[in-house]
Amino acid sequence: MKSNITMRDIAEKLGVSSVTVSKALNDKEGVSADLKLKIKKVAEEMGYRFNTVARAMKDGRSHNIGIIIPERFTGMTQSFYLNVYQSLSKSLEQKGYYGILHILSLNDEKSLVPPRIYLEQKVDGLIVLGQTNKAYIEMIQSVNIPVVFMDFYDEHTDMDSVTTDNFYGAYDLTNYLISKGHKEIAYVGNLYATSSIQDRFLGYYKSLLEHGLKRNDNYILNDRDEEGKYVDIELPDVIPSAFVCNCDQVARLLINKLIELGYQVPEDVSVVGFDNDVYATIGVPGLTTVAVDVEEMASIAVRFIDEKMKDFSKKFGRVQVKGRIIYRDSVSSPLTVSKKT
Amino acid sequence: MKSNITMRDIAEKLGVSSVTVSKALNDKEGVSADLKLKIKKVAEEMGYRFNTVARAMKDGRSHNIGIIIPERFTGMTQSFYLNVYQSLSKSLEQKGYYGILHILSLNDEKSLVPPRIYLEQKVDGLIVLGQTNKAYIEMIQSVNIPVVFMDFYDEHTDMDSVTTDNFYGAYDLTNYLISKGHKEIAYVGNLYATSSIQDRFLGYYKSLLEHGLKRNDNYILNDRDEEGKYVDIELPDVIPSAFVCNCDQVARLLINKLIELGYQVPEDVSVVGFDNDVYATIGVPGLTTVAVDVEEMASIAVRFIDEKMKDFSKKFGRVQVKGRIIYRDSVSSPLTVSKKT
DNA sequence: CTGAAAGCGCTTACAG
DNA sequence: CTGAAAGCGCTTACAG
């Protein structure tokens, strides 16, 4: 492995000082245009590669941003966060940052162990992607580098977070079902599991309220236990004409269950999901759902980190990014005749 | 943002030198046990965080490893590489490295632009995850830091690569179908698209040869064009009793198509996939497939990088990691009666 | 326009 | 066992 070329090597070759080389290569003032060109040419020829570490040492900024994803969101089927990570990675690169992924283990979360990337001053900022427990949020908020939360928020009023507009998305979707003529609409999701599920529920509920439809407690269906493990969905005695599911995966599970029971989707029952992930397009019928604007979310989170880097006290609060409805084949107008066998 | 505590701060507080602090904190020789303990205690109290950048500056190693994924493998539905990335990230962390993701754009690949993480000396090594064009492989091989390729290889004999044992997996799976009584077995996949598809085909073919079954050219079915875009699968006039698909996604597409045509899987036709990804478990029936050992692959790739770091000339060549068959419900013994309508 | 000096926070010889 | 000196490769502030 040949040792690396430094600015000093270039300087010596040209009989100038390394200060001048630094100025030339960084397009700073204080070098004649002639010399600058010559320096750049020689740098190129010698295969010079800029040493980011030395720069980091000087200005105290690594230009690395840590992205923390709690372990429980990283299972095989949960590709959403990895997609977000990818978008973040792209957005960071555009601003000259680099993302370092850290999977937060259940243990470290419980024991409130700060991520090693922080303890070793490996990163200038942190993006927490996915809900952690409250104590962990507080711990991470107390850190002396910028922190932005993604895809969740909680009662801590001083946290900066970027989430998809769950409330509006579910509201929009439910309005759509109602416009199609549905009056009996169930919601599927454990209201106590995550803030997303809660907010989507509230959006659904607002739509009911606005249209003067009564909320029916039997139409709020549980889909998972407290650890997030899916449980069998217990259907009510009277099947409603439409279901708003808190996510596409659950919508797909529900559809499979309904089909097994002899119902046809969307002829007998309409079902909508949320996320527009694989589960929306795999299987028949394709799901009408809300597509989350992952790239926009990533781009905003990165901008926030960047601005907080310049002014640590800057606050953005809770920012919501609107998604949009993707229309597929899982919704139709309800049958007017009684549909219970 | 309070300025950070340094070793010198600790040294001053205790009236010792920063050299001694460095030795104590790194558990090196040359400090009395007493003093070491005291130093560690004070470091803890003062909230000292080790500065990795300074260490990197000193020893010329950033401890960052770049992970390059070609853009075309990062679409919504292709979560496999992101899962590998996640495993890599974990393995790297265990050895004290940090992974930095770089999505290789189609343009940069064509123009042979080296990744910025390399040009800026941001990383000590590179893992290329997913096949690139040959010229790009050559360019990246010429770099003066360790490189390991994952999930593909090609004619360059000097490249170190870690792949899943595609050949053996498909061979194993085809043997299984034959043991179930199948004699007419088709292979689905564009043989010219990737080395994985090719090797899986060859494993399938070896199994046929070993069992004295004749290869039938009509039983080799195309699934995608040269850009990797899926095309409609053209079924042969006589439907075989079993299909070996090059991946789960294609297996699922094929099953849906067969069902549409009125066939039942596995009653009329058996289908197997490869990868054990979402497509294997989503939909009915569940796919019999080969599970790739992602964690083992990641762990080996990281070990190779680590060892090449110590000895740049070290070669490992092509290493294959065996997967294992996951038995689900997409295979049964063939009907003995004629099955063509 | 050009460059000598100092420093970022560590660690590695080496001297006492 | 303890520490003064030098250096990793840059950049900043200042002097000429």
Q: Count CB pairs under 8 A between chains A and B.
A: 124
Res A340: pLDDT: 45
Tell me which chain A residue has its CA closest to the CA of residue B88. A101
Q: What is the pLDDT of residues A276-295, one digit of tens each?
A: 988 898 888 999 999 999 99
**Predicted local confidence at residue A79, as pLDDT:** 67
Same fold, A7-50 and A166-291: no
Q: Output the CA–CA distances (angstroms, integers) from residue B122 to A26, B60, B85, B89, B208, in the order listed.
A: 17, 11, 18, 16, 49
Query: What share of chain A in percent tops pLDDT 90?
Result: 72
What does the domain layout of chain A look like in residue ranges?
7-50, 64-164+294-321, 166-291
- Tell me which of 3.40.50.10860, 3.40.50.2300, 3.30.70.360, 3.40.50.280 is the CATH number of domain B64-163+294-321: 3.40.50.2300
Q: Which CATH superfamily is domain B166-291 in?
A: Response regulator (3.40.50.2300)
Q: What percent of chain A has pLDDT over 70?
A: 96
Band (B78; pLDDT cuts 50, 70, 90): low
Q: Which of A223-227, B153-157, B244-248 has the highest mean pLDDT?
A: B244-248
Question: Using the beta-carbon criterion (under 8 Å), do A122 and B76 form an inter-chain contact?
Answer: no
Instruction: Provide DSSP, A264-300.
Output: -TTTT-EEE-SB--HHHHSSSSPPBEEE--HHHHHHH
Q: What is the fold of A64-164+294-321?
A: Rossmann fold (3.40.50)
Length B31 CA → C9 C1' (Å) = 20
Q: In this predicted structure, what is the pLDDT of residue B193?
A: 87
Residues B92-138: tens digit of each pLDDT: 999 999 999 999 999 999 999 999 999 999 999 999 999 899 999 99
Tokens 């290493």, residue? Answer: B319
Thinking of the domain A7-50, which architecture would CATH place it in? Orthogonal Bundle (1.10)
Compute the average pLDDT of residues A85-108.
93
> What is the pLDDT, as a whole number, of residue B89?
92
**A4-A6-A8-A14 Cα dihedral, nearest 10 degrees:** 90
Q: What phi, psi does A115 have (nearest 5°)?
A: -60, 145
Q: Answer whether B201's CB lies under 8 Å from B189's CB.
A: yes
Q: How many residues does chain A have?
A: 341
Mean pLDDT of chain A: 91
**Residue B1 pLDDT > 50, yes or no?**
no
B220 pLDDT above the threshold of 60: yes
> Strand D footprint at Cβ < 7 Å?
A 3-4, 6-8, 18-19, 22-23, 25-26, 28, 30, 48, 50-51, 54-55, 57-59; B 15-17, 19-20, 23, 29-33, 35, 54, 57-58, 60
Q: Rounded mean pLDDT of B186-200?
A: 92
Distance set, CA B273 to CA A156, B222, B254 (Å): 47, 15, 10
